[in-house]
Amino acid sequence: MGKQSLTAAQIEQYNQDGYLILKGFFNQEEVSKLYQIAIEDSIMSKNAINVNDSSGKRSKLSLWYKPGDDVYGLLTRGSSLINTVDKLLDGDASVCHFHSKLMQKEPRVGGAWEWHQDYGYWYKNEFLLPDQMMSVMVAITDANQENGCLQVIKGSHKMGRVEHGFSGEQVGASQRYVDLALKTMELIYVELQGGDVLLFHSNLLHRSEANLSDKPRWSMISCYNRASNIPYNDSASSNSSITPIDIVPDEALLTWQTSGLREDEAEFLVKEADVALK
């Protein structure tokens, strides 16, 4: 399918369901380059945070704020992806990069993520406008039910923000409201192939199971915000969430000389500094 421009029907589907899948948005060459650099990226692994689920299974994530000229930044800043995000976010201010994270669910040990909304976390950063925020998941490896693919509750973004509390080391949505949502809305297992992209609203309820397979499930999630949506409690991100993105051509991902993250540029999240975990 490639990096086609969104249709009116796709925009309507996103607004109705709270998410949209774009098959084959990135080709195999692009995904392979990303994966090869990621698995050998010592700076990425050095800054990975271990997060335990309620059963004690562990997932690793690395989260950073500034998208540079590394392979992840070039993917995040690609013109077609930013154009797609721009069509789906409410408002018309510039698109900004809040943060990106590499999610690594290793075989047999990769833990679950509890039901939550991204805005359930970001609300603590005092962003006021959830319709101006979204997440974009790029499948680096295939994601299916066996290896713990994302699950979403279709249309749950229309519920608004649900109260969140702690579950293990994670922040999760009120189970009562999750149960009520599941009574009235459809549970979707978002199975993706490497290169597929999932775009979802900041208030969409989602979770994932532990990886019980013998294959890793790696994905990269980039979170976007409008420059008009100011966070009033966000000292960690150095204003990345309200700094317009320096857009690069799509072909930069393959044609520019690039490598992994640079520690002095990326601005990694330190677990102790995350307001959502307090």
Residue 59 or 155, more confident: 155
Q: How many CB atoms lie within 10 A of CB 9?
A: 8
Residue 1 confidence class, pLDDT cut points 50, 70, 90: very low
- From residue 149, give the alpha-carbon distance in Å to each of 136, 161, 167, 188, 226: 14, 23, 20, 10, 28
Residue 217 or 58, more confident: 217
Residue 15 or 147, more confident: 15
Q: Which tens digits make up the pLDDT trace of 152-199?
A: 999 999 999 999 987 666 778 999 999 999 999 999 999 999 999 999
Q: Which tens digits make up the pLDDT trace of 130-165?
A: 999 999 999 999 999 988 899 999 999 999 999 998
Whole-prediction pTM value? 0.92
- Asked if residues 61 and 118 have their Cβ atoms less than 8 Å apart, the reply is no
Rounded to whole angstroms, how far apart are CA atoms 13 and 31? 26
Rounded to whole angstroms, how far apart are CA atoms 237 and 266? 10
- Asked if residues 220 and 137 have their Cβ atoms less than 8 Å apart, the reply is yes
Sign of torsion over alpha carbons 92, 198, 205, 108: negative
Q: For the stretch 22-34, what's the b/e string if a residue is b when 16 or more beta carbons lie within 10 angstroms of its beta carbon?
A: bebbbeeebbebb
pLDDT tops 60 at residue 36: yes
